[in-house]
Structure 1
Amino acid sequence: MLTIALPKGALLKESIAYFQQVGLNFDALLEPDNRQLQVVSRDGVARALLVRAQDVPVYVQYGQAQLGIVGYDVLREKTPHVAQLADLGFGRCRLSVAVKATSPYRSARDLPPHCRVASKFVRCANAFFQELDVPVDIVPLYGSVELGPLTGMAEAIVDLVSTGRTLKENGLVELEQIFTSTAYLIAHPRSYRLNIAGLGHYVKCLEGYRNRMEGRASA
């Protein structure tokens, strides 16, 4: 049976809609009273695992799932050994550097040497500031990162931004965008190569659907 890792949170609804286009229906995961972490598609040919977004590539890398959908931000941070098959285009957001609106800094290069930057994207943040040749101390935070500058723990944060509303409501402003993130279709490399559980058929159908959607968007 084909197993697919789906991310909890913002990408879940569109991920389920995406697989529905190729006949795999996992909408039971969207039911308000659902507490199941795995469901079988209505036709019984595939199974979906509901996991934290950061864990999607882990399940795929170790072969417990042959396919998965996850944000590019997670792939950049985790650098898993998975096959990145397609940029699906939805779930668009950006990883950005932000500071207090009252801060004197106007770019990431203005930050003082060895200042503290709060982020759950430790690898991405380190790589960005190393490329700028700006030495900073990354403070790992995994919830309410915006509190870092507000409490004086950090001068800046590196976090995902969608509309910018959360930053604005907490008195923060973006300095720079590091990269844009969208949802990606990923696969277990060996399963993809050997076409286990008919994986190739579904990937071909999913890519065809994506191409049709891109064609409509550009028309």
Structure 2
Amino acid sequence: MLTIALPKGALLKDSITFFAQAGLDFRELLDPSHRQLQVLAAQGTARALLVRAQDVPVYVQYGQAQLGVVGFDVLEEKQPQVAHLADLGFGHCRLSVAVKSTSSYGSARELPAHCRVASKFVHCAQRYFQDLDLPVDIVPLYGSVELGPLTGMSEAIVDLVSTGRTLRENGLVELEQIFTSTARLIAHPLSYRLNSDNLCHYIKRLRIDGIRIESEAPA
């Protein structure tokens, strides 16, 4: 049976719409009264697992799911051993460096050496400041990262930004954009290579205008 890991949260609705192209109906997961974490589709030949976005690549890497949808931000942070198949073109956001709007900093390079930067994207933040050759202390926070500069815990934050409204309402401003993120289709490498559970059949049916499959499974 083909198993697909779908992310809870903002990407779920568009992910379900995407897989509907291949005749896979997972709309039951959108029912607020529905509490199951997996549903069947296509006469029981495929199922969807509803998991935290950060866990999608884990399920795919370890072979518990052959396909998954996850934000590029999660892939950059975790760098899992999965096959990257396509940019799905939805879930647009960006990972940015932000500081208090009253600060004098004009760019990330102007932050003081060894200052504290709060982020849930610890590895992405570390790589970014290493590339700048700017030593900083990354403070891991996993909720309300915006409070870092407001409470004096950190000089800056590295966090996802969509509209920028949360930053503005908390008196913060973006300094730099590290990368943009969209939803990505990923696969378990061996399952993809061996076409397990007719995987390539479904992938071919998922192709639409604007979607570029980044690699091909052998015939």
TM-score by length of 1: 0.95
The structure carrying a bigger helix percent of its residues is 1
- Equivalent position amino acid for 2:102 in 1: T
- Equivalent position amino acid for 2:70 in 1: V
Q: Does structure 1 retain, via aligned residues, the 8 Å contact 2:117–2:156?
A: yes
* 3-state SS, counterpart of residue 105 of structure 1: coil
* 3-state SS, counterpart of residue 112 of structure 1: coil
* 3-state SS, counterpart of residue 23 of structure 1: coil
Q: Does 1:137 align with 2:162?
A: no
Q: Does 1:66 align with 2:66?
A: yes
Q: Does structure 2 retain, via aligned residues, the 8 Å contact 1:26–1:42?
A: no
* Alpha-carbon distance between aligned partners in 2 of 1:165 and 1:40, rounded to the nearest angstrom: 38
Q: Does structure 1 retain, via aligned residues, the 8 Å contact 2:86–2:211?
A: no
* Alpha-carbon distance between aligned partners in 2 of 1:17 and 1:130, rounded to the nearest angstrom: 39
Comparing 38-47 with 19-28, which one deviates more in the overlay? 38-47
Gaps of 5+ in 1: none
- Equivalent position amino acid for 2:150 in 1: L
The 5-angstrom pairing of residues 107-146 of structure 1 reads: 107-146=107-146
TM-score by length of 2: 0.95
Q: Does 1:152 align with 2:152?
A: yes
In the alignment, which residue of structure 1 is the partner of 2:81? 81
Q: Does structure 2 retain, via aligned residues, the 8 Å contact 1:192–1:200?
A: yes
Q: Does structure 2 retain, via aligned residues, the 8 Å contact 1:115–1:136?
A: yes
Deviation, structure 1 residue 43: 2.9
* Alpha-carbon distance between aligned partners in 2 of 1:21 and 1:122, rounded to the nearest angstrom: 36
In the alignment, which residue of structure 1 is the partner of 2:97? 97
* Alpha-carbon distance between aligned partners in 1 of 2:6 and 2:168, rounded to the nearest angstrom: 30
Deviation, structure 1 residue 168: 0.5
- Equivalent position amino acid for 1:64 in 2: Q
Deviation, structure 1 residue 118: 0.2
Give the superposed CA RMSD: 1.1
Deviation, structure 1 residue 214: 5.7
* Alpha-carbon distance between aligned partners in 1 of 2:27 and 2:171, rounded to the nearest angstrom: 38
* Alpha-carbon distance between aligned partners in 2 of 1:111 and 1:67, rounded to the nearest angstrom: 41
Count of aligned positions = 212
Gaps of 5+ in 2: 213-219
Deviation, structure 1 residue 44: 2.0
Deviation, structure 1 residue 45: 1.6
* Alpha-carbon distance between aligned partners in 2 of 1:203 and 1:16, rounded to the nearest angstrom: 14
* Alpha-carbon distance between aligned partners in 1 of 2:9 and 2:181, rounded to the nearest angstrom: 15
Which consecutive aligned stretches of 4+ in structure 1 deviate over 3 angstroms post-superposition? none
* Alpha-carbon distance between aligned partners in 1 of 2:28 and 2:90, rounded to the nearest angstrom: 21
The 5-angstrom pairing of residues 1-219 of structure 1 reads: 1-41=1-41, 43-206=43-206, 208-209=207-208, 212-213=209-210
Q: Percent identity?
A: 76
* Alpha-carbon distance between aligned partners in 2 of 1:39 and 1:148, rounded to the nearest angstrom: 40
- Equivalent position amino acid for 2:54 in 1: Q
- Equivalent position amino acid for 1:153 in 2: M
* 3-state SS, counterpart of residue 102 of structure 2: coil
* Alpha-carbon distance between aligned partners in 2 of 1:191 and 1:101, rounded to the nearest angstrom: 48
- Equivalent position amino acid for 1:39 in 2: V
